[in-house]
Amino acid sequence: MSDAFIAGIVVFVLAAFVGFEIIRRVPPTLHTPLMSGANAISGITIVGAIIAAALADGWLAVVIGFLAVVFATVNVIGGFLVTDRMLEMFKRVPGKPK
Amino acid sequence: MTELAYLAAGVLFIVGLKGLTSPTTARRGNRLAALGMLLAVIVVVVDLIVDDVAAAWAVVIAGLIVGGAIGFILATRVQMTDMPQLVAAFNGFGGGASALVASAAIVAAGSGVATETAVVTVLSLVIGAVTLSGSFVAFGKLQGIIAGRPISPPGGTATNGVIAALTVIAGIAAVATGEDVWYWVAGGLALVLGVSAVMPIGGADMPVVISLLNSLSGVAAAMAGFVIGNQALIVGGALVGAAGFILTVEMSVAMNRSLANILFSGFGGAPVSDDIGTKPVKRATADDAAIALAYADKVAVVPGYGLAVAQAQHAVKDLASALEERGIDVYYAIHPVAGRMPGHMNVLLAEADVPYDQLYDLDQANPQLTQTDVVLVLGANDVINPSAKDDPDSPIYGMPILDVDEATTTIVVKRSLSPGFAGIDNPLFYEDGTLMYFADAKQALEETLSAVERL
Q: What is the pLDDT of residues B165-193, one digit of tens each?
A: 999 999 999 999 988 999 999 999 999 99
Confidence of residue A60 (pLDDT cuts 50, 70, 90): very high
The arithmetic mean of pLDDT across residues B21-43, rounded, is 94
Task: For chain B, give the percent of residues with pLDDT over 70.
Answer: 94
Q: Which of B382, B403, B405, B425 is catalytic?
A: B382
Average pLDDT score over chain A:
88
A95 interfacial to chain B (CB closer than 8 Å): no
Q: How high is the pLDDT of residue B133?
A: 97
A10 interfacial to chain B (CB closer than 8 Å): no
B423 has pLDDT over 80: no
The arithmetic mean of pLDDT across residues B36-54, rounded, is 91
B217 has pLDDT over 80: yes
A73 has pLDDT over 90: yes
Q: B433 in a domain, yes or no?
A: yes
For residues B126 and B191, state if they share a domain: yes
Per DSSP, A77 falls in state I
Q: How high is the pLDDT of residue B23?
A: 85
For B356, the domain range is 286-454
For residues B314 and B450, state if they share a domain: yes
Q: What are phi and psi of A91, to 5 degrees?
A: -135, 160
CB atoms A54 and B346 under 8 Å? no
Confidence of residue B17 (pLDDT cuts 50, 70, 90): very high
The arithmetic mean of pLDDT across residues A29-34, rounded, is 86
Interface size A-B, in CB pairs within 8 Å, comes to 403
For residues B292 and B257, state if they share a domain: no
Q: B355 in a domain, yes or no?
A: yes
Most B-contacting residue of A9, A31, A34, A41 (CB-CB within 10 A), to test interface: A41
In angstroms, the separation between the Cα of residue A59 and the nearest Cα of chain B is 11
Confidence of residue B113 (pLDDT cuts 50, 70, 90): confident
Q: B58 in a domain, yes or no?
A: no
Q: How high is the pLDDT of residue B419?
A: 61
Confidence of residue B28 (pLDDT cuts 50, 70, 90): very high
CATH of the domain at B436: 3.40.50.1220
Query: Which of B14, B70, B93 lies nearest to residue A18, judging by beta carbons?
Result: B14
Measured over the CA atoms of residue B15, residue B20, residue B22 and residue B25, the dihedral's sign is: positive
B258 has pLDDT over 70: yes
CB atoms A42 and B353 under 8 Å? no
Q: Which of A16-25, A65-74, B103-112, B306-315 has the lowest mean pLDDT?
A: B103-112
Q: Which residue of B has its CA nearest to A82?
A: B75
For residues B422 and B361, state if they share a domain: yes
Q: B210 in a domain, yes or no?
A: yes
Task: For chain B, give the percent of residues with pLDDT over 90.
Answer: 57
B60 has pLDDT over 60: yes
Find the length of chain A.
98
B266 has pLDDT over 90: no
For residues B193 and B336, state if they share a domain: no
Chain A residues with beta carbon closer than 8 angstroms to that of B342:
28, 31-32, 35
Most B-contacting residue of A3, A71, A82 (CB-CB within 10 A), to test interface: A71
For residues B292 and B436, state if they share a domain: yes
Query: Which of B55, B60, B350 lies nearest to residue A90, judging by beta carbons?
Result: B350
* B145 vs B315, higher pLDDT: B315
Q: B260 in a domain, yes or no?
A: yes
Q: Which residue of B has its CA nearest to A25?
A: B21
Confidence of residue A96 (pLDDT cuts 50, 70, 90): very low
Query: Which of A15, A53, A73 lies nearest to residue B235, judging by beta carbons?
Result: A15
Average pLDDT score over chain B:
88
A95 has pLDDT over 50: no
Q: B199 in a domain, yes or no?
A: yes
For residues B197 and B332, state if they share a domain: no
In angstroms, the separation between the Cα of residue A87 and the nearest Cα of chain B is 6
Helix axes A46-54, B57-77, angle to 10 degrees: 150
Q: B192 in a domain, yes or no?
A: yes
* A44 vs B24, higher pLDDT: A44
CB atoms A44 and B246 under 8 Å? no
The arithmetic mean of pLDDT across residues B215-226, rounded, is 96
Q: Which residue of B has its CA nearest to A79?
A: B90
Query: Which of A42, A62, A70 lies nearest to residue B66, judging by beta carbons?
Result: A70
Q: Which residue of B has its CA nearest to A3?
A: B229
CB atoms A15 and B68 under 8 Å? no
Q: How high is the pLDDT of residue B418?
A: 67
For residues B193 and B296, state if they share a domain: no
Query: Which of B37, B44, B241 lies nearest to residue A19, judging by beta carbons?
Result: B241
For residues B85 and B194, state if they share a domain: yes
Q: Which residue of A has its CA nearest to B245?
A: A20
State ipTM.
0.92
For residues B113 and B211, state if they share a domain: yes
Q: List pLDDT tens digits, range B400-414.
A: 899 998 999 999 998
With beta carbons less than 8 A apart as the criterion, state whether B301 and B378 touch. Answer: yes
The arithmetic mean of pLDDT across residues B83-90, rounded, is 91
Q: B123 in a domain, yes or no?
A: yes
A22 interfacial to chain B (CB closer than 8 Å): yes
Q: What does the H/E/C string look like for chain B?
A: CHHHHHHHHHHHHHHHHHHCCCCCCHHHHHHHHHHHHHHHHHHHHHHHHHHCCCCCHHHHHHHHHHHHHHHHHHHHHCCHHHHHHHHHHHHHHHHHHHHHHHHHHHHHHCCCCCHHHHHHHHHHHHHHHHHHHHHHHHHHHHHCCCCCCCCCCCCCHHHHHHHHHHHHHHHHHHHHHCCHHHHHHHHHHHHHHHHHHHCCCCHHHHHHHHHHHHHHHHHHHHHHHHHHCCHHHHHHHHHHHHHHHHHHHHHHHHCCCCHHHHHHCCCCCCCCCCCCCCCCCCECCHHHHHHHHHCCCEEEEEECHHHHHCCCHHHHHHHHHHHHHCCCEEEEECCCCCCCCCCHHHHHHHHCCCCHHHEECHHHHHHHHCCCCEEEEECCCHHHCCHHHHCCCCCCCCCCCCCHHHCCEEEEEECCCCCCCCCCCCHHHHCCCEEEEECCHHHHHHHHHHHHHHC
Q: How high is the pLDDT of residue B271?
A: 41
Q: Which residue of A has its CA nearest to B105?
A: A52
For residues B117 and B186, state if they share a domain: yes
B47-51, B65-69, B74-78, B142-146, range with greatest mean pLDDT: B65-69
With beta carbons less than 8 A apart as the criterion, state whether B439 and B413 touch. Answer: yes
How many folded domains does chain B comprise?
Answer: 2
* B297 assigned to active site: no
CB atoms A55 and B56 under 8 Å? yes
Chain B residues with beta carbon closer than 8 angstroms to that of A48:
97-98, 101, 221, 224-225, 227-228, 230, 233
Q: How high is the pLDDT of residue A71?
A: 97
Q: How high is the pLDDT of residue B195?
A: 93
For residues B215 and B294, state if they share a domain: no
| Residues in A 25-84 with any Cβ partner in B closer than 8 A | 26-58, 60-62, 64-84
In angstroms, the separation between the Cα of residue A52 and the nearest Cα of chain B is 6
